[in-house]
Amino acid sequence: MGDTIIREVARDVWIFSRPFARYGLFPVGGRSTAIRLRSGGLWVLASTPLDTETKAKLDELGKVKYIVSPDIVHHLYLSEFKKAYPEAKLLGVDGTSSRIGDKGLEFDGVWGKDAPNTKYGFEDDHCFFSGFKNKDVAFFHPQSKTLIQADLLFNLPCYEQYSNSKMPVLGNLKPSLWFQQRIVSNLSTNTAAMKRDATTVANWDFQRIIPCHGDVVETDGNKVWREVYKAFIA
């Protein structure tokens, strides 16, 4: 059995969870998410390795049409996804190109560089947090009432991501803790933009939150979001 845990969390929504330690020291877990498009095929938030289990499942589910990087730091595996699915469109945020090792990787869409109202063809509602240090994008899947995001909200410990690993699960960064509110505040680079975008997400009708780091928030997701971002929500 490999380290990747694959789970269908709702109809047309699958997660790929596995161990990941920030700086090789802090176990925060990693997760990719695949969403089946209403038109057929998949869009994938690609944040973990395209290992054998992951690729087999994606190929079983359908054609990968969009590979999405959700912020400037979740870019480690974009190149291997693009090589495996060369016909898929690659989307990222402004600033990612300067960070990735594969300088030949070309993006088909870039949040922060494209016009604000650009539609890429894969998404339901989404929101680019231009006033957040990591330039995150939040995605809303209304059919399953699910919010998908990378670093805007953590939910540690990451039990599911380490459930196939002997590595100890350490750390506690629950959304209910004041410390997470402080982190969000410290990562804010533009208060007005943060207020706009945090309020936009708060007005979406979601119950579940899929983070890249930590366990899935299965219920009361909108309430959790509002608690973490209460300093920014109008």
Domain ranges of the chain: 5-228
Per-residue pLDDT at 1 exceeds 60: no
Q: How far apart are CA 230 and CA 144, in angstroms?
A: 24
What does pTM read for this prediction?
A: 0.95
What is the rounded end-to-end Cα distance, in angstroms, of the chain?
47
| CATH no. of 5-228 | 3.60.15.10
What's the mean pLDDT in 150-171?
Answer: 83
pLDDT band at 213 (very low <50, low <70, confident <90, very high): very high
CA atoms within 13 A on the CB side of 18: 16
**What pLDDT digit, counting tens, does each position of 101-118 carry?**
777 899 999 999 999 889
Cα 226 off chain centre by: 18
22, β-bridge pairs? 26
Q: Could you give phi then psi for residue 178, rounded to 5 degrees?
A: -60, -25
Three-class SS of residue 203? coil
CB 156 within 8 A of CB 174: yes
Which percentage of the chain shows pLDDT scores above 90?
77
